[in-house]
A and B are shown apart, each in its own frame.
Chain A
Amino acid sequence: MKHATLAGFPCWCPITIVLIFLSLPVSLIASPPLQSTAQHQITGTVTDQEGLPLAGVNIIIKDREAGTMSDENGKYTMAVQDTDILIFSFVGFKMQEVAVAGKTDVHVTMQEDIMALEGVEVNAGYYTVKERERTGSISRINAEDIGKQPVSNPLAAMQGRMPGVYIQQNTGVPGGDFNIQIRGRNSIAGGNAPLYVVDGVPFPSEPSSAFGNLITNGGNSLNGLDVNNIASIEVLKDADATAIYGSRGANGVVLITTKKGSAGKASLDLNIQSGTGSVGRFMDLLDTGQYLQMRREAFANDGVEPTPANARDLLLWDTSRYTDWQKKLVGGTSYLTDLRGAVSGGNAQTSFRFGGGYRKETTVFPGDFGYRKLSGFLNLTHRSEDNRFRAEVSVNYAAEDNNLMSRDITSFIFLPPVAPPVYDNNGNLNWGPEGGSFNNPYSILRRTYTTGTDNLIGNVGLDYEFLPGLRAKVGMGYTSIRAKDVQVTPWSSIHPLSLSYEEANSTFGNKNTKTWIVEPRLEYAKTIGRGELRILAGSTFQQTKNESLYVYASGFSSDALLEDVASAGTIRSNSGYSEYNYHAVFGRVNFNWDSRYILNLTGRRDGSSRFGPGKRFAGFGAVGLAWIFSEERFLKNSLLSFGKLRASYGTSGNDQIGDYGYLDTYSSTVPYQDHAGLYPTRLFNPGYGWEVNKKLEIALELGLAHNRVTLSTAWFRNRSSNQLVGLSLPPVTGFSSIQANLPALVQNTGIEIALHTQNIRSEDFSWDTSVNITIPRNKLLEYPGLENSGYTNTYAIGKSLNIRKTFRYTGIEPQTGIYRFEDVNGDGRVSYPDDLQAIKAIEQDFFGGMHNSLSYKGLQLDVFFQFVRQTGNTSLFATRSVPGTSVNQPVEVMERWQQPGDVSNVQPFTQSASSAQTIAFNQSLFYGDNTIGDASFIRLKTVSLSYTVPARYLSGMKARVYVQGQNLLTITGYSGLDPEYSTSMRLPPLQMLTAGVQLTL
């Protein structure tokens, strides 16, 4: 505190040193003259709205440098004068001023401040910054936002809530994958995943499962985190925020901070939640009558007589049957149970928090499938009485156990409605009548896929203040992710006709990823006149090792032995190992003049083992500027309560390519005679380096009417160059491509707007609204030699990276009903690649969310809508089979062309593999632009209603009951299963409805 009294004196003045010692008397001199009324003791208690004591509340006397803090019982004592005004402040609560006016005890109830813009400290990774003073672009959600959603992956909780962050859920299967793109796609061939950092420890972005399985789309590493133990998630977006992450910051940084203990009486927090999930939307598919009509018409159109060989559905199956395969396969109900408990407490010096959680989700598929996650966590923080030494330890562990089948049977919903029953009269799998073979989807249920992962994240932080303002810190962390996958194909799941070439087999996968990191750093803070200087310097040492083993086993005598490798007749195995070493130095200089002008310089020099000698090190840096113009005299006391203009420019990099790419390596071949041979797998190629992303941002943040309305608008432009691509080589070199940097330039620009309004604030009732919207644009600006590269039919200069080059659909030929495409080169036929002249993008035009939060006394209602305007794959081609074959179709196909003059987008039915319709259908499927259409949607993503039982009924215990809903409603014109992920048939995100109780003892 003492150095604060030096305000106004330049630090470089040697007198400072003297003044430090003199500061106490100086401050006394500087304080107002003593009043005639003498000081007296004042005591009191600080509580929250529930009447529970608040510890650690800062209590200072206005205009004087005296103050204290509330103790663990919320009590405080201090010497005051009658004329004093006390200021009570605590992070997350509204500041209160109370005049002493002769009182001897002052009890204060602090009001929670949901939009505590001024006080919120935002985690920027290596440092924290006050929300109002930040120069960079950082979006944040906290535990409260997460807690209102019955989700298991943090990315699910972030969906729609952060401007500039697009998250797509790829499947509704538990343990499934998500895509995240922060400010668009930067890299043509490298990774586009952000850097994840959990409590200062980098966390892998690659899926944790040992071998990518289709049903989970490989899974997602963040499933291995306990979402309920997350205190906040910060996403760093611009150069100012990401440059300090150097070569790994190009795609943004996601910082995940776990919950810490808080001072105060030890409390136990218990939360029990359970509910159900189901598929919210189904497609309108043909019923038996329509299906049979389609099939018979297809044969008639083709002039082909149905025979048992080509029409088993019509001639061998019972055509009076009707099975709604959607209901049968994905129409079930999934049950969710989530239990968690945490104990936390401590005193002003030491606090702790530990606990655990258990989550179980079953699936909507028939059968006994499900996902379980067991988690445990421990956090200890300590600081010495003089606050010079601080230490923190946290350990987070989660074990996942996912029990699924080998593929998503959602892809079977297009089975003919007349298909035979799945079980015969004896309860065995039904393979159809003789010669009328049936590809029974229930056989897939026997091909189980189980994956278990153990995720451990541990970190230790030490922090010591050597000299006033100078702190030395060290962070040490370790993560270990072990995954074990087993997939079995039992004899009983194999179609009897396939037994001549298929056999029972199992695949075993083990993967182990270990990372350790050590980051020593120094921090220095100094007040210089009205300015504050902060300097940070640090270094990173990180090593990641990956080991994997993959075993394919066959030749089993019995289905019972499939999970025993030793029982296999034949074994093939494959192993992998890689090591990634990373080293960097980084720093930050921040100067804040009078809380008005802020300059933030960050930089990093880092080296990665993924690059060859001489190419390993590179420097990255950024400048951030902010001007809080609402602090200027001419705007003081205006309607504008907060106004900030900020801008940043700088660079970050991307090293997301495989390890060892620069080495000339040899791998093993199948043994020749007795010994494995070796073959060169890569050209020696030391000459490539990072992708460099140059980011520019300008933002305006406004607060009106005492910040009851806040508006933040940001414009960004990120340009990614030095693109790491596989450069095509002529095959005479022995290889088809080589990893190289190209001066290709990818640009992402966008506008992000976030608006928050406090519509109503009264004693008992409050209503808040926040809206965010992002309008992204992606463009390939330059690509030297694109025409001659392997990407010539994929990308176009001046267009987005998300385009498809397609044939331009020109409608149906009125005389024949066949799809027509533009013959651009006029050679009389539509051919690949010359006629790929139409360009359509599958991407988002804009996306965002709207959150309304209403509270009345103990009742709280949250309603969150996610909206996305985008293009996707239309449902007419979802079956990937031409209408008329023995595959069920969306009812839209009944609008087919039937006679000359009909206007339709559906060709006449056909069952022939060589008919004109089939050829045109396949052209559409692979190259046509008629498969791309609107897939926009508005989704009622979250509804949460909770009631906090008043403390007075529960003798000090806090209780909250709640109901939550997820994906309850989707408004869309899209006629497929779900618009969010439309590129292939997967289980859509489930509609969840849960109820729960939270008790705090």
Chain B
Amino acid sequence: MKLYMLKRIKHWLYFLPITGIVFCCENFTETGVPKTELIGTRVYTTDETATAAVTGIYSRMVSGFGGFANYRTTLWGGLSADELDNFSTDMSQVEFYENALSPTNNFVGNLWSEPYNYIYHANAVLEGLENANGISPVIRRQLRGEALFIRAFCHFYLVNWFGGVPYITTTDYRENSLASRLPEAEVYPLLIADLEQARELLEATYVTGERIRPNRHTATALLARVYLYSGDWLNAETMTTEVIDLHGIYELEEDPDKVFLANSTEAIWQLRPVAGNRNTVEGYSFILTAAPANSALSHRVIDAFEPGDIRKTRWTGSIISGNSTYYYPYKYKVRTGSELSEYYMVFRLAELYLVRAEARARQGNISGAGKDLNIIRNRAGLANTTAATQAEMLDAVFREKRVEFFAEWGHRWFDLKRTGRAGTVLGTVKPGWQPTDVLYPVPHAEIQNNPNMEQNPGYE
């Protein structure tokens, strides 16, 4: 009997190792990390990989055939305003030109999702650096500064395209997917806070020698613009002065043909192209070799140049096809070619002169404003301004900005909007113009998936 029991137990003993396996080997389902990818926690362990996580943002901004920070802001701003004429049959593009955007427009969708994706990326860098150990303090400061700058940079464009937007500061999708819109007035202080912090963290020098990663002055330049857009004239002036006074580092190029060259002395921040067979997308897309199929420079821009303005001959081109002459922006002169001579300009010194001119004029400093304005006019081969009153001076600054910054980063569209002149200017040249067209619609995908998101007026 006992023997039998023993034997029976022995029988079952054979099953023991198997039951043992259940509990001992759960670790077996742990895999190594994928060799062709890095997992988040590993990225922030060395200076090199952490730096790569930041330069990855610039690479993505400038790669491909146009994103929000690569041609598209220029294109959409130009079409929505009165700078570019549309020749594309793509309805999604036609909608920009006709100021008749729909929330399902895929380009509007990208204009929203792409900066938010970079914001996620920047927040991931900030959170990664927060918990990182093996990063040297100098690199950590630099990278945090860049990430904060990028976060502000992206939010700046979002708030100007769409009005009040959520200001995203975490990577947690559960929290973010319920984010609601802040009023514009609440977005600006957050932009300013991020940029002030970035200014503290970033060095005055460029980390790689080239002007392709933001330094402290880049943050200052954006901050100056932010103050200007939010009506803080004094701070706008202070910020611009800080950069303009740095003679030696930044100087206007005397020759307009040299402004957009790689590391030109006027450049505050440029994106270095990464595609092999061309320089900038704008050079590739705008320069016409045949009748336009996408866009061309509006005659309104051509007509806006004063006689003798050398920018008209240096920065615009034309082509005759059939009986028509088509104009195109010619700031970038390289259409194709793998040798890199032009970088994609994001911030340049000329803007700061015009920001300060406006800020001074707003504060009643007409002569100071005129001085700044004339620096830009003289470079263009024009005589000093004749504006004498504040109103005249402001008008002169806006006119100047239009011809200095045409087809560049949507300056014209944003200036028309923020100064309240969009309706009067565009209402006359754009059939079907509605006052609500100054804001783009919040994309359908956002409205659909975020219960707290509200649509802009005119698009409900």
B156 to chain A, nearest CB (A): 16
Q: Find chain A residues with CB under 8 A from B176 CB.
A: 730, 732-734
Please give me the 8 A-B residue pairs with the lowest Cβ-Cβ distance, nearest first: A734-B120, A677-B56, A730-B450, A731-B113, A672-B59, A669-B59, A577-B35, A664-B40
Q: Find chain B residues with CB under 8 A from A660 CB.
A: 31, 34, 37
With A730-B450, A734-B120 as contacts: A14 and B60 at CB distance below 8 Å: no
Q: Find chain B residues with CB under 8 A from A472 CB.
A: 14
Q: Find chain A residues with CB under 8 A from B57 CB.
A: 677, 679
Taking CB atoms and an 8 Å cut-off, the chain B residues in 1-48 that contact chain A are 1, 3-4, 7, 10-11, 14-15, 17-19, 21-22, 25-26, 28-40, 43, 48
30 A–B pairs (Cβ distance < 8 Å), ordered by A? A522-B18, A537-B15, A577-B35, A581-B29, A583-B29, A585-B18, A608-B29, A609-B31, A660-B34, A660-B37, A663-B39, A664-B40, A665-B34, A666-B37, A666-B40, A668-B56, A669-B63, A676-B59, A678-B38, A679-B121, A684-B171, A729-B177, A730-B453, A732-B166, A732-B446, A734-B117, A734-B121, A734-B168, A735-B117, A788-B448
Task: Indicate if A670 sits at the interface (CB-CB under 8 A).
Answer: yes
Task: Indicate if A659 sits at the interface (CB-CB under 8 A).
Answer: yes
Majority SS at the chain B contact face: helix
Task: Indicate if B58 sits at the interface (CB-CB under 8 A).
Answer: yes
A655 to chain B, nearest CB (A): 11
B33 to chain A, nearest CB (A): 8
CB of A583 within 8 A of CB of B25, answer yes
Given contacts A663-B39, A730-B448, A730-B450, 20 further A-B contacts (CB under 8 A): A17-B3, A521-B18, A522-B14, A539-B21, A577-B34, A577-B36, A581-B31, A665-B38, A666-B40, A666-B56, A675-B51, A677-B58, A683-B173, A684-B171, A732-B168, A732-B176, A732-B179, A732-B446, A735-B117, A736-B445
Q: Find chain A residues with CB under 8 A from B56 CB.
A: 666, 668-669, 672, 676-679
With A679-B60, A680-B121 as contacts: A666 and B38 at CB distance below 8 Å: yes
CB of B7 within 8 A of CB of A17, answer yes
CB of B29 within 8 A of CB of A582, answer yes
CB of A676 within 8 A of CB of B52, answer yes
Task: Indicate if A511 sits at the interface (CB-CB under 8 A).
Answer: no
Task: Indicate if B153 sits at the interface (CB-CB under 8 A).
Answer: no
CB of B53 within 8 A of CB of A666, answer yes
Considering the chains assembled together, what is the distance between the CA atoms of A679 and B29 in angstroms? 27
Taking CB atoms and an 8 Å cut-off, the chain A residues in 582-638 that contact chain B are 582-583, 585, 605, 607-609, 616-617
Q: Which of A470, A580, A730 contacts B14 (CB 8 A)?
A: A470
CB of B15 within 8 A of CB of A680, answer no
A341 to chain B, nearest CB (A): 42
A731 to chain B, nearest CB (A): 4
Q: Find chain A residues with CB under 8 A from B109 CB.
A: 731
Q: Find chain A residues with CB under 8 A from B124 CB.
A: 664, 680
Q: Find chain B residues with CB under 8 A from A734 CB.
A: 116-117, 119-121, 168, 171, 173, 176
Of chain A, the residue at the smallest CB distance from B123 is A734
A607 to chain B, nearest CB (A): 4
CB of A670 within 8 A of CB of B63, answer yes
With A665-B34, A665-B37 as contacts: A14 and B58 at CB distance below 8 Å: no
Q: Which of B17, B26, B173 contacts A617 (CB 8 A)?
A: B26
Considering the chains assembled together, what is the distance between the CA atoms of A93 and B143 in angstroms? 78
**Mask of A674-717 contacts with B, CB within 8 angstroms, 1/0:** 01111111011000000000000000000000000000000000
A689 to chain B, nearest CB (A): 13
CB of B28 within 8 A of CB of A607, answer yes
Of chain A, the residue at the smallest CB distance from B178 is A730
Task: Indicate if A767 sits at the interface (CB-CB under 8 A).
Answer: no
Greatest chain B CB density within 10 A among A521, A580, A659, A733 is at: A733
Q: Find chain A residues with CB under 8 A from B121 CB.
A: 679-680, 734
Greatest chain B CB density within 10 A among A666, A671, A731, A732 is at: A732
Q: Count residues on chain B whose CB falls below 8 Å from chain A CBs.
A: 73
Considering the chains assembled together, what is the distance between the CA atoms of A575 and B36 in angstroms? 7
Task: Indicate if A520 sits at the interface (CB-CB under 8 A).
Answer: yes
Task: Indicate if A425 sits at the interface (CB-CB under 8 A).
Answer: no
Considering the chains assembled together, what is the distance between the CA atoms of A524 and B12 in angstroms? 10
B179 to chain A, nearest CB (A): 5
Taking CB atoms and an 8 Å cut-off, the chain B residues in 356-380 that contact chain A are none
CB of A733 within 8 A of CB of B18, answer no
Task: Indicate if B225 sits at the interface (CB-CB under 8 A).
Answer: no
Majority SS at the chain A contact face: strand
Of chain A, the residue at the smallest CB distance from B448 is A788
With A466-B14, A577-B35, A730-B177 as contacts: A583 and B26 at CB distance below 8 Å: yes
Of chain A, the residue at the smallest CB distance from B62 is A672
Considering the chains assembled together, what is the distance between the CA atoms of A664 and B173 in angstroms? 12
Task: Indicate if A738 sits at the interface (CB-CB under 8 A).
Answer: yes
Q: Find chain A residues with CB under 8 A from B275 CB.
A: 670
Task: Indicate if A541 sits at the interface (CB-CB under 8 A).
Answer: yes
B293 to chain A, nearest CB (A): 14
Q: Find chain A residues with CB under 8 A from B17 CB.
A: 520
Greatest chain B CB density within 10 A among A581, A672, A728, A735 is at: A672
CB of A730 within 8 A of CB of B446, answer yes
Task: Indicate if A119 sits at the interface (CB-CB under 8 A).
Answer: no
Q: Find chain B residues with CB under 8 A from A955 CB.
A: none
Considering the chains assembled together, what is the distance between the CA atoms of A677 and B119 in angstroms? 16
Of chain A, the residue at the smallest CB distance from B451 is A730
Task: Indicate if A179 sits at the interface (CB-CB under 8 A).
Answer: no
A9 to chain B, nearest CB (A): 14
Q: Find chain A residues with CB under 8 A from B53 CB.
A: 666, 677-679
Of chain B, the residue at the smallest CB distance from A544 is B31
CB of A524 within 8 A of CB of B55, answer no
A519 to chain B, nearest CB (A): 11
CB of A579 within 8 A of CB of B28, answer no
Considering the chains assembled together, what is the distance between the CA atoms of A616 and B112 in angstroms? 36
Task: Indicate if B210 sits at the interface (CB-CB under 8 A).
Answer: yes
